[in-house]
Amino acid sequence: MRTPENIGRVREAFDRSPRRSAVRHATTLGITPRSVRRILHNDLHYHPYKIQIFQALNTRDYGARVRFCQEMLDLIGEYEDLVNNMWMSDEAHFHVSGFANKKNFRYWSQANPRALHEKLLHSPKVTVWCAIAASGIIGPYFLENETGNAVTANADRYVKMLQNLFTPQLAVFLSMKTRYSSRMEQQVTQQECQ
């Protein structure tokens, strides 16, 4: 029931324990979960937010980040084309079984499909690596062992992948860029002569 007294009790409970679920608060307060959600949305204007997880930083990390940013700004000022030549890379794990992480997975529909998704305890997965820059994409590259089975990234596999895939592909991109730049310079020179 949405009474002023219940609204105050719900506000106090969520201010005290904002990470506790609405259902648990409802049970503790003796109010129906539906009434608690209505109070949260309509009266208190609270919204559920998904907590973001990130790597913890210690005090030394902040100085290192500022130094890195300053060095990058200096390099970009010195070499204006630097940003167009930077490559960013990452890897992701995909479960072979089709398992979807329920925290990142939403199913949008007019009706609840009542679908269950069964998963293996130790589901095999594939690790995929890719790099991207202004000039293009290198990858995807599937990390596999000698027998062709999917493996996760470690230092040795990562170095091998950089040597066997990234470096040769980067050479192709650089040669294409050099040929393109030479062709553009020739066209500019021809236009100036006319």
d(CA 50, CA 112): 21
Q: Has residue 121 got a pLDDT over 90?
A: no
Side-chain-side CA neighbours of residue 49 (13 Å)? 7
Judgement on whether residues 16 and 93 belong to the same structural domain of the protein: no
Highest mean pLDDT among 10-19, 27-36, 138-147: 27-36
**Which pLDDT belongs to residue 71?**
94
> Encoding tokens for residue 135?
């000039």
For residue range 152-183, list pLDDT tens digits in order.
778 888 888 889 888 998 888 888 777 766 66
The pTM of this model reads 0.50
Q: Has residue 24 got a pLDDT over 50?
A: yes
Q: Has residue 104 got a pLDDT over 60?
A: no
Tell me, yes or no, whether 71 lies in a domain.
no
Average the pLDDT over 20-34 and give the result.
90
Tell me, yes or no, whether 62 lies in a domain.
no
Rounded to the nearest 5 degrees, what angle is found at the Cα of 189, between the Cα atoms of 188 and 190?
Answer: 90
Tell me, yes or no, whether 19 lies in a domain.
yes
> Encoding tokens for residue 20?
């506790």
Tell me, yes or no, whether 53 lies in a domain.
no
Point out the least confidently predicted range of 31-40, 118-127, 155-164: 118-127
Question: For residues 107 and 7, which has the higher predicted lDDT (pLDDT)?
Answer: 7
Residue pair 150/143 in contact by the 8 Å Cβ criterion:
yes
**Which pLDDT belongs to residue 106?**
45
Instruction: List helix spans (H) across the chain.
Output: 4-16, 22-29, 33-38, 59-78, 155-161, 167-193
Judgement on whether residues 98 and 19 belong to the same structural domain of the protein: no
Residue pair 170/164 in contact by the 8 Å Cβ criterion:
no
Determine the structural domain holding residue 145 and report its residue range: 85-105+121-193
Tell me, yes or no, whether 96 lies in a domain.
yes
Q: Has residue 6 got a pLDDT over 80?
A: yes
**Which pLDDT belongs to residue 170?**
87
Residue pair 94/128 in contact by the 8 Å Cβ criterion:
yes
Judgement on whether residues 25 and 97 belong to the same structural domain of the protein: no
Judgement on whether residues 36 and 97 belong to the same structural domain of the protein: no
The string over 96-118, giving b where at least 16 C-beta atoms fall within 10 Å of a residue's C-beta and e elsewhere, is: eeebeeeeeeeeeeeeeeeeeee
Judgement on whether residues 33 and 93 belong to the same structural domain of the protein: no
Tell me, yes or no, whether 161 lies in a domain.
yes
Q: How many other C-beta atoms are found inside a 10 Å radius of the C-beta of residue 133?
A: 16
Tell me, yes or no, whether 128 lies in a domain.
yes
Judgement on whether residues 93 and 189 belong to the same structural domain of the protein: yes
Q: Which amino acid belongs to residue 166?
A: F
> Encoding tokens for residue 112?
């609840």
**Which pLDDT belongs to residue 110?**
47
Number of domains observed in the structure of the chain: 2
